[in-house]
Amino acid sequence: MLELVGVTAGYRGRPVVSEVSVAVPRGSWLAIIGPNGAGKSTLLKSIAGLVPHSGSVLLDGRPVQQLSARERAQVMGYSPQTPLLPEGLSVTAYALLGRTPHLGTLAREGPRDLAVVEQVLARLDLSSMARRLLRTLSGGERQRAVLARVLAQQTGILLLDEPTTGLDIGHAQALLELVDRLRTEDGTTVVTTLHDLTLAGQYADRLLLLDRGSVVASGDSASVLNASVLAQHYDARLSVIEGPDGSPVVVPQRHPPK
């Protein structure tokens, strides 16, 4: 179980996220939602140990802060909102970078690492592109390549910052389905930030709504995706209706024309 207790994080002493506490059971999916600038990415980065923070992040009861950077990278995989892709690398070479935490500082990858990468690429349907250069990939393929890099880390926890950025509805859906499959098959714990509230409600077990760095709502999609709560914190006109499968759908409403 991944547990956050009173996590406060920020840059240059100015807190961006304050006093966040939440528990994420093994194999479940937590979606961090909230308006722009609410501190979603900062919270995710503090879980990954990339931003200095106070409070504690516990993994099965043990504080993650006690782990070295390498040990942490063996239990948590992180992908940023806009990953920097070394364009001249092949998909395989890029995914192999995910093996870094399992190698000595100056060591090279062995056949085992290659086998892991091969398996991950097959799973993400990237095998046919293994030798292609990153610069030749489409947006959806790039996002999958990034996911392959993170999966090659073989961690029990995935921290994905807006994994659907720039993807159309079909590709976004396919990527989230893929993450969901990994979660159910391997029991991976998933924490993502997501800006699409309807998708967040469909895939995550639990939503955490942040506004100005504080948790303002937390719980399952039915309780968090509440029209008046969302309207207040996003400063938007919207309604929440019931989709065909019973899941909440967040619909924006246009100002009535004069």
Partner 1 sequence: MALILLVLAAFSSLLLGVSDLGYARVLQEIWAQLTGGVSPLSSREAAILWYLRAPRVVLAALVGGALAISGAAFQGVFRNPLADPYLLGAAAGAGLGATIIVVTAPTWSIALPLAAFAGALGGVGLSWALSQSAGRSTATLLLAGVAVASFLTAVQTFVQQANIDTIQRVYSWMLGGLNTTGWREVLLTLPYITVTSVVLWLCARLLDVLAVGDEEAASLGIRPARVRFLVLGAASLATAAAVSVGGLIGFVGIVVPHIVRLLAGASYRVVLPLSLLGGATFLIVADEIARTVLAPAELPIGVITAFTGAPFFLLVLRMNRTR
Return the residue of 85, 114, 130, 229 that touches partner 1, per CB under 8 A.
85
Among 179, 204, 160, 206, residue whose Cα is nearest residue 23? 206
Our CB check for partner 1 shows the closer of 57 and 76 to be 76
Q: Which stretch binds partner 1 (CB under 8 A): 52-60, 87-95, 192-200, 227-235?
A: 87-95
Please identify, among the stretches 7-15, 29-37, 97-105, 170-178, the one whose residues bind partner 1 according to the rule CB under 8 A: 97-105
Distances from the Cα of 18 to the Cαs of 12, 24, 30, 56, 214, in angstroms? 14, 18, 18, 12, 6
Answer whether 99's CB lies under 8 Å from 152's CB: yes
SS3 199: helix
Query: Cβ closer to partner 1: 58 or 103?
Result: 103
> 199 Cβ partners below 8 Å, 6+ apart?
164, 172, 173, 176
Q: Does 213 bind partner 1 (CB under 8 A)?
A: no
Give the shortest CB-70-to-partner 1 separation in angstroms: 4
Tell me the β-bridge partners of 248.
242
- Asked if 138 contacts 81 with a C-beta cutoff of 8 angstroms, the reply is no
Region of 6-14, 68-76, 174-182, 214-222 interacting with partner 1 (CB under 8 A):
68-76
Determine which residue in the list 89, 227, 238, 249 makes contact with partner 1, applying CB under 8 A.
89
Size of the site for partner 1 (CB under 8 A): 38
Give yes or no for residue 110 binding partner 1 (CB under 8 A).
Answer: no
Instruction: List helix spans (H) across 98-255.
Output: 111-123, 139-151, 169-186, 197-203, 221-224, 227-234
> Closest Cα to residue 119, out of 140, 99, 141?
99
> What is the 3-class SS of 66-96, one letter each residue?
HCCHHHHHHHEEEECCCCCCCCCCEHHHHHH
What is the number of other CB atoms lying within 10 angstroms of the CB of residue 184? 11
Q: Indicate the residue among 144 and 206 with the shorter CB distance to partner 1.
A: 144
In the set 39, 101, 213, 248, which binds partner 1 (CB under 8 A)? 101
71 binds partner 1 (CB under 8 A): yes
Q: By CB under 8 A, tell whether 36 contacts partner 1.
A: no
Is residue 80 close enough to count as binding partner 1 by CB under 8 A? yes
Site string for partner 1, 215-244 (x = CB under 8 A): ------------------------------
Interface with partner 1 (CB under 8 A), residue from 13, 14, 36, 68: 68
CA distances from 33 to 37, 62, 184, 207 (A): 11, 26, 22, 7
Which residues of the chain form contacts with partner 1 (CB under 8 A)? 45, 48-50, 68-74, 76-80, 83-90, 93-94, 97-98, 100-101, 103, 105-109, 149, 153
